[in-house]
Structure 1
Amino acid sequence: MDRRTFIKGTGVAGIAGLAGCTGGPTQEATESATDTPTDSGGDMEDTETETTTESGPAANVGMVYALGGLGDKSFNDAAKRGVVQAEEELGIAYAEVQPEASEEFPQFQRRYAQSTDPNYDLVCCIGFAQQSALAETAPGFSDQNFMLVDAVVDEPNVANYVFREEEGSFQVGHLAGLMTTRSFDAGSGETQSDSTNVGFVGGVDAPLIRKFQAGFEAGVNYANSDVDVSTAYAGSFSDSAQGKEIATSMYQSGADIVYHAAGATGLGVFQAAKEQGKYAIGVDSDQSLTEPNFADVIMASMVKRVETPVYESIENVVNDDFNGGSTTTLGLEEDGVACVYGDQLGSAIPQDVKDAVAETREGIISGDIDVPTEPQ
């Protein structure tokens, strides 16, 4: 199937169907090769001015986001930062869709691949849940470039990017284990020196999220083997009410720091931390900045720089150097993940704690500390 060949029933009308999902290509966008695809950020005029020249944009990129969508202040928003950076620095144009169910992944991947006006030079598939869909889509569109974040599809037209989430999670676990056993009072939370309990809230129970759990638990244990880790999964990346209920139960059971790897569900963790006068650890983005209303309880974030592979893959396409068939792994050494202290609370964290966390970072990079990828 050649994406540059008109596919009966999936031409302008088929691509226009994407407009029903937030930010999808509009019919107007498919009718002119020089039109800029819809930007769900609501600033289409600026996008056209900045990315469209007489010869058109440097590349057209289709973004298929993970479940939970934009506005999660975490994973998807980090991916969007990458494509916006490419828009500003490389002169590309992009369209984006936010699937509401995993069953929608194949149709959105195919519709971008089938588009002839414009031709999409790259389709970015964000999140591990797109793996099975892309494994079926990619072979049918051999001349279409795809990139995939958080999973691997072994096809020559797919550039894969994965992270060592367990390494960054070890770092924030080490921090939590050190802080929960001392008295600390800053912002709107506090810890008690007699506390021996911290928590982990996952979104969907999947191998990728268990890597976050495994690293966090290992880091806590490295700090103090007497500290217990309570764990629970919300079953969703977009259910803040469930996240709040789980975290509230953990705080009321004695945890004074809770780490989440749950997308928009994590907002509920922050809400619970503030109400209970405890602390939380964010994920993917520096959530003390993306969720400023809770900066006074966000001790740190396990930043996962999803924007890096998005930008890099687009840059490769623009430079005619697409790395299809490869897998790039990003960990602490590559600065793909990191423990980033909270914007408001970071300066209050004791220096000896920061020094200890810095030491384990070097230990992980050197191989002296082995971080598990499965909970023990």
Structure 2
Amino acid sequence: MSDPFETEERQALRESGRGFAAREIAPHLDDWERDGLVPRELAKKAAAAGLLGVGYPEDVGGEGGSLVDSLVLAEGMVAGGASSGVLASLFTHSVAVPHMLRLGTPDQIERFVKPALRGEKIGSLGVTEADIGSDLAATRTTARRDGSDFVVNGSKMFITSGTRADFVTTLVRTGATGPGGLSILVIESGTPGFTVSRKLDKLGWRCSDTAELAFQDCRVPVENLVGPENGGFVLLMHQLMSERLSLAIQACGVAQRCLDLTVAHTKSRITFERPLISRQVVQHKLVEMRQRIELARTYARAIAARYDAGEQLVAETCLAKIAAADACSYVVDQASQLHGSMGFMRETEVERHYRDARIFRIGGGASEPLADWAAKMFGYTA
């Protein structure tokens, strides 16, 4: 049976991503890490190269293709030296615009989706709140209808690209408590009452800006409502499946990159007059690293292909992300160890991946609540 991830076209796409990352990202990444920002120009370069719109319909300004195409592109970019932090920043629109693609109005497509895919506007997703985390049904930020506007009050925390965003696709409470009272509003930067409270400092993903946002009597036009009022939770849950698959594939890509770097290092590193890779304990570690990557990646790719074919796989996408995050955590740790003291140095690429990889077990839904949701879906509850 042919692998949908390894068609001739997708191999070429993967190579395009690898080349773009090697040229436009890897040489500058250390500077971006120090600056705490990915320059806006990178999005325009990616759009000009035909990469920013991969997986999006041509009639909304995309390059065509499907989720699998976007995942293949991510694999290639990581292989070319891009970090998961760069991907989070460059492709933030992947979590900001799908809701509009699914149920948005033509006006929303023109004002937000098309400019984002051209690299002209940066979109962000405002969901998480302090003390809520993965419990999205407990969202407290409110949006009260007042004539032709919604008046928004509340705050959002840990928002990727929040300091640079031109618009934030925001989960708000428009109705009663629980998931049935949630809606999605697009809130534009510059709207009175919308402020970036602070830029957050992080362990990893340091090149990707992360913000706390505040809304105080922020008036948002009703036409910025995405989908039906009080229908935001279902819309968000659909998008989260693709986000978790993306994170799973990225985690596997990072793990593969670290394995490749470690194999090269252990071949060139001479200790006690022998290459490090000549020692059995090192060989066994490398085999274990590869085994964990292959198992996690095979499962994640299989679930992604089924999702691409139209299956609803809430529980399975949770498992794919958990497995990939765990595999990546193990591999980056072993990669750092096998690099020795250099694995602890900022000048070594595996050091950055070691820090960045920690987010895979938290972002897009932490592993523990994902396991809880999977258990409920499978009927493994009392």
TM bin, normalised by shorter chain, reads under 0.3
Q: TM-score when scaled to structure 1?
A: 0.27
TM-score, L = length of structure 2: 0.26
Structure that is richer in helix per residue: 2
